[in-house]
Amino acid sequence: MNEDTFAELQDSIEAKFEGLKLFTLNTLASERKKTTDLDERLSVVEQKLLSISISDVAGLNENMEAMREDVDDMKRKRTSHSPDHDRLTSPEPVKQKRTGLSAILVEDGPSIPTTLNHITNPDLRTHLEKYYIEKLPSPEKLTPAQLAFVHYYIFEKNSGKGSTHDQLINELYVEGVKLGIWTDSWTPSGIKGNFKNYLKEKVKNL
């Protein structure tokens, strides 16, 4: 190999090296630019995340909780109005011999029984059943339960004791108070005189 050929070969190698060097530098610059762009984007995202305060996050949690409660409330209302729910939760109606009647409330005292269902003593309720009249004529001042008790006491419980009329009425009155048929302070509305006198006239006409 002469000197001219060697020189040409050397120049060719140096040219290829310069080309490779230039390519490498350009590639590195391009990658560096991409990395810089990515860093800038990451920086923007980081700034946005930092701009969300703790109070904003807490407020978001409260709003989500409120929405969850609203949804639960709507579910409960929907369930409570469904026919299946009404059938499962509604109590069976109480069968009464006379509907529409409630116990008479006495101020500062126990209730006055209107029907047999208001008689809490099961034995007494059984005794009164044979004398119980469901519908009473309008002039009657006693309740159906009270009138049944008067009949039971006169015709069955006190039968044959030989008490005078006044004694009988007094015993009837006291027994009625003791059993909760009436109270010592209660008087039927619309009667003349006191309750004992009304009972006296009532028993006379039995």
- Mean pLDDT calculated for residue range 54-61: 61
Helices (H), the chain: 3-51, 54-80, 83-89, 122-128, 144-152, 165-178, 195-204
- pLDDT at 196 (0 to 100): 92
Would you give the DSSP letter of residue 95? P
pTM of full prediction above 0.75: no
User: Does pLDDT of 17 surpass 70?
Assistant: yes
**pLDDT over threshold 70, residue 164:** yes
Q: What is the pLDDT of residue 162?
A: 63
Residues 66, 145, single domain; the answer is no
Among residues 70, 89, 108, which one ends one of the domains?
A: 89
Say yes or no: 120 and 82 in one domain. Answer: no
Is 169 inside any structural domain?
A: yes
Q: Is residue 56 part of a domain?
A: yes
Confidence tier at 85 by pLDDT (50, 70, 90) = very low
Listed ranges 66-70, 138-142, 153-157, 173-177; the one with the highest mean pLDDT: 173-177
Which stretch of 1-15, 23-37, 141-155 has the lowest confidence by average pLDDT?
Answer: 1-15
Model confidence band, residue 78 (pLDDT cutoffs 50, 70, 90): low
The overall average pLDDT reported for the chain is 76
Domain count, the chain: 2
- Tokens for 145? 């339960």
Burial label for 203, CB within 10 Å (0-12, 13-18, 19+), is middle
